Structure 1
């Protein structure tokens, strides 16, 4: 055994024992002999463990830059790059893969990263290759169904899910995905099957998938009482797995409002494109607005990007808890926002194609970061989607998120969070007058052209007739609105929440005057 192998073994033993400082020393000794991809990946994990965000990211980038990575190691590097949202490097490394060298598990892993980048067709191709090797692979079939949903291929998605059930009917996520594909009817639904599956002993998160699916199907069938009961169960199950504190949210909002936020006048450095941040509560219509903006070919619909928050993390050398926390707000007081801007631009500009002058960054929770966005990117445009409070909150309540909104599974907590969000937005408007354009969902659906003319003007875009129909240039949509956005703009005379008025009493009471 050579010296490098002995050092690697010693370092791995130390890391497994939790002795990260000793492991770090041994891995660094390996690097003294030359760049070593496996050691760099280990160091990236160790630096994350000891709280050094920037060093962890840099080690991952050094590993990515090495040629000749084995398939197994490339998958590990991809995971590290994804952790730091290094999307340009992710994109380039995926392009280096030789798919024929990968087994089905590795193909599935790479497909997930391609989907994260928005390259749904590449993800689909990789999954197809995985299935050619393992046709009975239920997780791959489920992933394929999700990709086909993002691409609007709903019949193919349903076929994938049916095949998936043949191999593993117990995967709860299958039922949730299937329920969302279409409106269920009295002659074609899965209600009894879902009720049977809910009786099977499963972890709370798995049962939550089934309960939310049952809620959706009963709602389709007009069984409001049954749908409300299923939603109550789903929310209780999901909430039991999450850590959320209303007091912490309130403290964060207060810290943000008290933080110094000097405005930088627009017209600074030319970044080569105009970022357009679409913010608001989840389920407020942000995806619809993005798709309408995408009707102009000068606009790139980039989807829900995490680049701004990860740019702040990199510059602060700090992994914030959740999307933002009080410590990050404190660190931001001395942060170099020019460096934040440079990091952000490097992270997103690779997505632009010739002729595209604008890019949408549609992560709703960026409403936390409006002050920081305008400091780093003075020429950014901020579009704030506003929807009826009860309708917005009800839509959040009945959506099973992956963890993005832990406040949304309890009516009282959801109402309190909504009021805090609304108060913070009022603060941003007062701090940055004229920099944020509110777009009201009801007006957007009733006078789409009139509203979009104002939006285009605010963004510095020409208005085009193709900006009034979300289907005009719709591409992949990897959000909860993947099904709805394939339809024309819908005007509801009776809000979706109205039949649930009695059920939503705690939410309406919590919203107070905002619910009237």
Structure 2
């Protein structure tokens, strides 16, 4: 750096302008320029601000904080100074204080988009998703000056995405190639649940403006929500190339890596981000989820405890502790959770998670009436969030029985993709599928993965194109082969070893058993089944992150179980021997007999490691991850009996399925 570039030249204004330019090009040069100005004009506020920003951008955050704090106190109403103070506090891990600084900035200048962005990112780290969403809407509004875009942004701020969409579509009819409008429209349609449409809009936006980081982050987030983690990672890597220490990008990258089974990388990222941003309750919770999956139980519990200590109202963190199944709450924990539930301002999502956690805590203490009351309240709250019509599945089963005939399967013999790689473990959640998976994954020829969403996604696509399941009877040999090959390709990212077979244990795949049998005729299909009262009540008291909307009402889950039994009985009739059934109670009673039969069905030789499945240290990505690291235990088989006096609605919904178990009734 030459003298000419670091000393004030011409006037202070000229020198300051040069300092601002250097911030983007050479932060260290900006620091030197600011120091030269301050030597000539001590305590100059703008030069001090340049110095603080240059230090932050150069990585000297601690010194930047020492510089900016007295400046911030002296100019509490200055938007750019409060903005920089917030940025430095955020970079130094003082997230709560950063929120306060960003709020001071936007209070002084409500249109300061970068302050709204900083506020949104800080609130995301603190787990305040509602506040973060509102701040992002204000960021969009503050970042535009076009009157029409401002009207649409105001609608988003007011929580009216439909009105925003109308305004934006009228604008784009005249000006179709405007990136800000396209990104805003993507936000509007995504808020209305049309995520695939939002994805296409964001891709169009980035074609027009590849450097639009806000749109790229939106797209990465959307890819993750749609279950396409590798695509999300590609977008995140582009963002991280410019901002390698951005905590929001890194947290999302860790979540994506965890979803495709790269737990070591995910854990390393969480540890790095949490070291720099320790005040991050949802970050600690996500870190705990990853630790739980790889079997680090003590570290997992400690991470969850960090989350509840930092945010006692974060119901999901309390539920995460309960969902370890082996964790036991103290009386002080119960009092803390009850105190949060007593708050009138508690968010519904936190409330329902706390109810589920308290249900588990009272269950462990043998207080079954209190336990059931909390489980039922949690389910009622969750049901309001995810409306469910049980008649839809009943109709689907009836249509499957009409389409999936013995004649259809006979006419399709030899078609589809011949690869024997997949082993599908299906049924209902909480039926013992994780136990079956762990046993099989302890065999030297079998790799365990997770509950893969791919069959469901492929069935959804078929349904979008033609009536489903009726379309299954119209698929050509080439279609069936292509579908089977597509499944293998889609799931390849989950395979981390060279073992020839792998498991997909998505329980909901039972509804698509016909598609599986047609497109992958040599794949093994295992039906994990448990006593209907034990299975259904265990599902009812389990809060699922997503995808099991039938489980939040005793009648609904009973009817769902009956539908499942009916379809699987039909498959047994039209494809005898195609499905192997594992009865949970039989597995508990005589593990070796059942394990030998299971391996024989899969064409695998017996291995002692399958009997010692609890010694397998593989990652387990379900609620039962702690339980399957213990030897088989019998204490949960009849646990539902403690709640039997409340289960009459479930018994009625199950009908003859209950009396005939483990056989299926005549349908």
1:130-187 C-alpha deviation (Å, 9 max, x unpaired)? 2122111111111112222222222112222222233221111121112233556686
RMSD of Structure 2 on Structure 1 (CA): 3.8
CA distance in 1, matches of 2:190, 2:352: 35
Unaligned runs of 5+ in 2: 1-143, 153-160, 660-667
CA distance in 2, matches of 1:131, 1:502: 46
Closer, same or farther in 2 for the Cα pair 1:48/1:310, shift >3 Å? farther
Task: Tell me how far 1:389 sits from its aligned partner.
Answer: 1.0
What is the match of residue 374 of structure 1?
517
The correspondence for 1:329, drawn from 447, 458, 469, is 469
Task: Tell me how far 1:302 sits from its aligned partner.
Answer: 1.3
* Superposition map of 1:35-114 within 5 A: 75-90=217-232, 98=240, 101-114=244-257
CA distance in 1, matches of 2:588, 2:238: 44
The correspondence for 1:294, drawn from 441, 445, 466, is 441
Closer, same or farther in 2 for the Cα pair 1:346/1:285, shift >3 Å? same
Residues 1:222 and 2:366 aligned together: yes
Task: Tell me how far 1:52 sits from its aligned partner.
Answer: 11
The correspondence for 1:397, drawn from 536, 540, 552, is 540
Closer, same or farther in 2 for the Cα pair 1:334/1:182, shift >3 Å? closer
Closer, same or farther in 2 for the Cα pair 1:89/1:218, shift >3 Å? same
The correspondence for 1:507, drawn from 635, 638, 650, is 650
Task: Tell me how far 1:219 sits from its aligned partner.
Answer: 0.8
What is the match of residue 204 of structure 1?
348
* Superposition map of 1:244-283 within 5 A: 244-260=388-404, 262-263=408-409, 264-265=412-413, 269-271=417-419, 274-283=421-430
When Rg is computed on C-alpha atoms for both structures, the one with the higher figure is 2
Q: Which structure shows the bigger proportion of residues in helix conformation?
A: 2
* Superposition map of 1:103-502 within 5 A: 103-181=246-324, 183=326, 190-201=333-344, 202-260=346-404, 262-263=408-409, 264-265=412-413, 269-271=417-419, 274-314=421-461, 317=464, 327-335=467-475, 336-353=479-496, 355-492=498-635, 495-502=638-645
CA distance in 1, matches of 2:246, 2:595: 47
Task: Tell me how far 1:121 sits from its aligned partner.
Answer: 2.2
For the residue of structure 1 that corresponds to 2:469, the secondary structure is: helix
CA distance in 1, matches of 2:189, 2:330: 55
Closer, same or farther in 2 for the Cα pair 1:51/1:141, shift >3 Å? closer
Closer, same or farther in 2 for the Cα pair 1:52/1:218, shift >3 Å? closer
For the residue of structure 1 that corresponds to 2:646, the secondary structure is: coil
What is the match of residue 33 of structure 1?
none
CA contact (8 A) 1:151 1:477 kept: yes
CA distance in 1, matches of 2:504, 2:205: 28
CA contact (8 A) 2:312 2:336 kept: no
1:457-487 C-alpha deviation (Å, 9 max, x unpaired)? 2222232111123323232222111221221
Closer, same or farther in 2 for the Cα pair 1:94/1:458, shift >3 Å? farther
Count, aligned residues: 496
CA distance in 2, matches of 1:186, 1:360: 34
For the residue of structure 1 that corresponds to 2:385, the secondary structure is: coil
Closer, same or farther in 2 for the Cα pair 1:402/1:510, shift >3 Å? same
CA distance in 2, matches of 1:174, 1:52: 27
For the residue of structure 2 that corresponds to 1:302, the secondary structure is: strand
CA contact (8 A) 2:415 2:481 kept: no
Closer, same or farther in 2 for the Cα pair 1:463/1:40, shift >3 Å? farther
Unaligned runs of 5+ in 1: 1-5, 31-35, 319-325
CA contact (8 A) 1:242 1:406 kept: yes
Which structure is higher in RCO with an 8 Å CA cutoff and minimum separation 6?
Answer: 1
CA contact (8 A) 2:417 2:482 kept: no
CA contact (8 A) 2:616 2:629 kept: no
Task: Tell me how far 1:415 sits from its aligned partner.
Answer: 1.6
For the residue of structure 2 that corresponds to 1:248, the secondary structure is: helix
- Judge which range, 222-231 or 96-105, deviates more: 96-105
What is the match of residue 76 of structure 2?
none
For the residue of structure 1 that corresponds to 2:581, the secondary structure is: strand
CA distance in 2, matches of 1:355, 1:9: 58
CA contact (8 A) 2:232 2:256 kept: yes
Q: TM-score by structure 2 length?
A: 0.66
CA contact (8 A) 1:268 1:379 kept: no
Closer, same or farther in 2 for the Cα pair 1:339/1:57, shift >3 Å? farther
CA contact (8 A) 1:390 1:508 kept: yes
CA contact (8 A) 1:299 1:358 kept: yes
